[in-house]
Structure 1
Amino acid sequence: MYIDEFREYCIAKKGVTEHTPFGPDTLVLKVMGKMFALTGLDVYEYINLKCDPEYAAELREKEPGITPGWHMNKTHWNSVKTDGTVAENLMKELIDHSYNLVVEGLPKKIKEEWLSLE
């Protein structure tokens, strides 16, 4: 998955905005203000995605292109290589998983706001 495909796939989701809070070289995608994905813009080698801890450990054992999140909480984040090591359909599933985890954890008021979005 190329960076433009990754960005378009994420930004198409309800309530998603893009930011560069860590500088101009890191793209951060948030749903309702909460981060669910990030990647390098200057060097697009991997994407960091939030993940259920048990599922994260399972993925790391099975997929050589998935490792503990680089510069992230290693329990809750995975780094997913973008060089084709990880199948594109799995990458999309993991993006969806990350997005859904963050949405599930939104405070009630913000989740209601998210639900009202078109």
Structure 2
Amino acid sequence: MLNALSAFSGATVSYPFDETTRVYKVGGKIFAIVGDNDDPVRVSVKCDPDIAEELREQHPGTVAPGYHLSKRHWNTVTLDDSVNDDDLRDWLAHSYDLVFRSLPRASRTEITRVIRDN
């Protein structure tokens, strides 16, 4: 399921912190962080603050405030058996959309143009 992160328009992946922490960006801004060495794997995603709180209440022990991130704007999701693929896909898309929409118009236009031309 996490392979879907690379499929978002203009998404790039890098390892700026260490060799086991994947960082996904769009337009140079982070929208997801994956701890590959975590067992189970954890992914941190950007989230609307109101929705973030709601998800934490609905999924205690699975969705927590962002690990080493702004607790208001980020959730860390533990990918165990309690997380269904549809929910995870929605949370990843929500994170990407929040970050993409925050980019300057010129950046959004360029990302869209490059995708369209390819």
Q: With the length of structure 2 as denominator, give the TM-score of the two structures.
A: 0.90
CA distance in 2, matches of 1:32, 1:17: 9
Please point out which of 26, 29, 33 is paired with 1:34. Answer: 29
Question: Partner of 1:113 in structure 2?
Answer: 110
> What SS class does the counterpart of residue 116 from structure 1 fall into?
helix
Question: Partner of 1:22 in structure 2?
Answer: 17
Please point out which of 41, 45, 63 is paired with 2:59. Answer: 63
Question: Partner of 1:48 in structure 2?
Answer: 44
Aligned-residue CA RMSD in angstroms? 1.1
Shift of 1:42: 1.9
Alignment: residue pair count: 113
% same residue: 37
Q: Any stretches of 5+ residues in structure 1 without a counterpart?
A: none
Equivalent pair of 1:14/1:117 in contact (CA under 8 Å): no
Q: Any stretches of 5+ residues in structure 2 without a counterpart?
A: none
Structure 2 residue identity aligned to 1:80: V
> What SS class does the counterpart of residue 114 from structure 2 fall into?
coil
Shift of 1:84: 1.8
Deviations 1:35-82 (A, max 9, x none): 100111222531000000000011111112111011110000001110
